[in-house]
Structure 1
Amino acid sequence: MRQILIAGVISLAVAILLTPVLIKVFSRQGFGQEIRVEGPKSHQTKRGTPSMGGVAIVAALWAGYWGAHLVGLATDGEGPTASGILVLSLATTLAVVGFLDDFIKIRKQRNLGLNKTAKSVGQLIAAVLFGVLALQFRNEAGYAPASKQLSYVRDIDAITMGSVAFVVFVWLVVSAWSNAVNFTDGLDGLAAGSMAMVLGSYVLITFWQYRNACVGGPKTAEPGCYTVRDPLDLALIAVAGGGACLGFLWWNAAPAKIFMGDTGSLALGGMLAGLSITTSTELLMVVVGALFVAEIISVVIQIAVFRTTGRRVFRMAPFHHHFELSGWAETTVIIRFWLLTAIACALGLSLFYSEFLTASGG
């Protein structure tokens, strides 16, 4: 518990202190955001706001994680684990892809950075590396960072994948979540605030998994226990990510002084994907992160309907812009979407705990 608190405090402090430094440096270098011409007119005033603030989020994430482990090692705590390093590496690799995308946008003074193929290749490489390595590094109990079975709150025995199918599944999950968070990052503080709540929920989930972890392998497992390999280390990842998002939100809240850019949104989406896989909660994450799911679905629906009928379902996608163009103030959309995220997180936690009671016979 002490390590969890330390990880959160360090990441929060680093994000709060580093972000204003980046604002000054990026402003001096002219690293300003380009705004879509077809977007809400009110967003044109944001042109030139520094971007790539995700650098602070990723730096705070690493600082919180390693800071907590340094303290833990000094007090005979456990060191870094395969699961934690894999999730961190996935998030960081996607942050590099996002950074390249942001940098091209800034240098070429346009709203499009990497083309779709280049970005997709970057996501593919990150996902394949994660998927392959996540099946390795079994501990003494025989648990790897990931399972080949689809999971809800724990593995679903009836749905098992082969190694190749699992890696393809990981690629789909990573692409979906990284793009979903990327689409959500369109209003000041919307993605950062929502991510903080989702990651806060996963601090509770992973800590509960740690307190009720299966000991000694599947044959000696007690009813209701969890086969997650490194739940406590994943709790450190979640709290460090949540602290980083809150610290960044201090400067990103409306009116934003800096945007996270693809550097931050792709990294955070990758973190959600990695956490869902290593905690065996891929389907539960869909509930907890329902806002991100709704955002990407709105884009898919808009494109599919427009290509088949020539009509638009929403005034603009992602659908947070639909409400802006319908007359809602930006801050109204943000706060109401935050409330929806809070409801989704509460529902997800309720489902998680109710499944535990059922599985344990409580």
Structure 2
Amino acid sequence: MKSILIAAALALVASILLTPYLIRVFSRQGFGQEIREEGPQGHKSKRGTPTMGGVAIIIAMWVGYGAAHAFNAFGEGNDSPSASGLLVLFLTTGLGMVGFLDDFIKIRKQRNLGLNKTAKLVGQLAVAIVFAILALRYPDENGLTPASDHLSFVRDIAIVSFGTIGFIVFCYLAVSAWSNAVNFTDGLDGLAGGSSAMVLGTYVVIAFWQFSHDCARVQEAACFDTRDPLDLAVVAAAGMGACIGFLWWNAAPAKIFMGDTGSLALGGLVAGLSIATRTELLMIVIGGLFVVEMMSVVLQIAVFRTTRRRLFRMAPFHHHFELAGWAETTVIIRFWLLAGVCAMFGLGLFYADWLALGGGR
């Protein structure tokens, strides 16, 4: 538990202290956000606000994670980073680099479009493939690898096995979907950061619960076969702390935006945690807000292409309510509430599954 607290606290402090420095540096360099011309008129005033603040989130995560290990806080004599933790951090950082390149192109070309779809797809594909291949390697003393080639809800579904190639394809689809879903959600000040903090807080609980009921440590029917669950809790805690620290400066009115650097990285983080904790399908519930945002874009495109009419005033979904007259802060707070409800419902399903298998008896 101490390691989780250290990771969260130091990531939060690092994010709070680093972000204003980035604001000054990016402002001097002219790294300002470009705004969609067809977007809500109230967003025009945000043009020029420093972007690429996701750099602070990624660095703060590494600081929190590294500090937790440097302080030898595990209490089990294990003070070295795990394969699972490092792989999830690799996925987060790799997608953050893709997002950074996207943001940098937007700034240099003074437009709201950075990497084209093909280039962004290739970047996500490369990072996801490396993650997927490595995640099926490095078994521990119990033969567990950082990921399983079975589809999972709260634990592996034995009858649904992908095989190595199928798992790599599944990994890419999951990473691409979640990184784009968080990216779509990042359209209002603090919306993606606050929602991500709730999802990551949920994964702190899930991963720590898995550690407390690890099949390698306890003999009970409702135990979990997850490799390095405590270290995954540390990673989730570092991500949560980094998001909260960044939110201090990103809350409305935002002094800096996370940009694609932050949104793609956070999407990779939640995708990686869901795969490493064997909760890929449960993540659809926990990250329900992200799902709604992404589906609003998919439905908008599908309906417009078939009927030439718009289903929503504007997609992603949060802009629909802005154009309906809701204040930006009202949309943000209500969507945070939706994100919190989804996270708590997902956590409830996780606990219910544990009870159903004989947990607590």
How much identity, in percent, do the aligned residues show?
A: 66
Q: Distance in 1 between matches of 2:54 and 2:83?
A: 24
**Alignment RMSD (CA, Å):** 1.2
Match of 1:344 in 2: 342
SS at the partner of 1:360?
Answer: coil
Match of 1:240 in 2: 238
Task: Tell me, yes or no, if the aligned pair for 2:52 and 2:100 is still in contact at 8 Å.
Answer: yes
Match of 2:71 in 1: 71
What are structure 1's unaligned runs of at least 5 residues?
none
Q: Does 1:167 align with 2:168?
A: yes
Task: Tell me, yes or no, if the aligned pair for 2:12 and 2:241 is still in contact at 8 Å.
Answer: yes
Q: Shift of the alpha carbon at 1:162?
A: 1.1
Task: Tell me, yes or no, if the aligned pair for 1:105 and 1:111 is still in contact at 8 Å.
Answer: yes
Q: Distance in 1 between matches of 2:161 and 2:84?
A: 20
Match of 2:38 in 1: 38
Task: Tell me, yes or no, if the aligned pair for 2:53 and 2:257 is still in contact at 8 Å.
Answer: yes
Task: Tell me, yes or no, if the aligned pair for 2:35 and 2:47 is still in contact at 8 Å.
Answer: yes
Q: Does 1:140 align with 2:132?
A: no
Q: Shift of the alpha carbon at 1:221?
A: 5.8
Q: Distance in 2 between matches of 1:74 and 1:234?
A: 12
2:46 alignment partner AA: K
1:190 alignment partner AA: L
2:123 alignment partner AA: G
Q: Distance in 1 between matches of 2:74 and 2:298?
A: 49
Match of 1:200 in 2: 201
Q: Shift of the alpha carbon at 1:297?
A: 0.5
Q: Shift of the alpha carbon at 1:237?
A: 0.5
SS at the partner of 2:197?
Answer: helix
Q: Shift of the alpha carbon at 1:151?
A: 0.3
Q: Distance in 2 between matches of 1:345 and 1:181?
A: 15
Q: Shift of the alpha carbon at 1:222?
A: 3.1
Within-5 A mapping of 1:275-354: 275-354=273-352
Deviations 1:322-362 (A, max 9, x none): 00001100000000000011111110111100100111254
TM-score by length of 1: 0.97
SS at the partner of 2:357?
Answer: helix
SS at the partner of 1:158?
Answer: strand
What are structure 2's unaligned runs of at least 5 residues?
none
Q: Distance in 2 between matches of 1:198 and 1:68?
A: 21
Match of 2:28 in 1: 28
SS at the partner of 2:346?
Answer: helix
Q: How many residues align?
A: 359
1:132 alignment partner AA: I
Match of 2:4 in 1: 4
Q: Distance in 2 between matches of 1:265 and 1:330?
A: 19
Q: Distance in 2 between matches of 1:190 and 1:46?
A: 15
Q: Shift of the alpha carbon at 1:124?
A: 0.2
Q: Does 1:60 align with 2:72?
A: no
2:89 alignment partner AA: L
Match of 2:182 in 1: 181
1:328 alignment partner AA: W
Selected match of 2:270 from 265, 269, 272:
272
Match of 2:117 in 1: 116
SS at the partner of 2:151?
Answer: strand
Deviations 1:203-227 (A, max 9, x none): 00000000000117xxx96311000
Task: Tell me, yes or no, if the aligned pair for 1:225 and 1:360 is still in contact at 8 Å.
Answer: no
Deviations 1:163-214 (A, max 9, x none): 1001000000000000000000000000000001110011000000000001
Match of 1:85 in 2: 86
Q: Distance in 1 between matches of 2:86 and 2:358?
A: 31
Structure 1 segments of 4 or more deviating over 6 A? none
2:231 alignment partner AA: D
Match of 2:131 in 1: 130
Match of 2:226 in 1: 228
TM-score by length of 2: 0.98
Task: Tell me, yes or no, if the aligned pair for 2:70 and 2:79 is still in contact at 8 Å.
Answer: no
Q: 1:73 to 1:194 in 2, by over 3 A?
A: closer
Match of 1:261 in 2: 259
SS at the partner of 2:349?
Answer: helix
Q: Distance in 2 between matches of 1:245 and 1:29?
A: 24
SS at the partner of 1:111?
Answer: coil
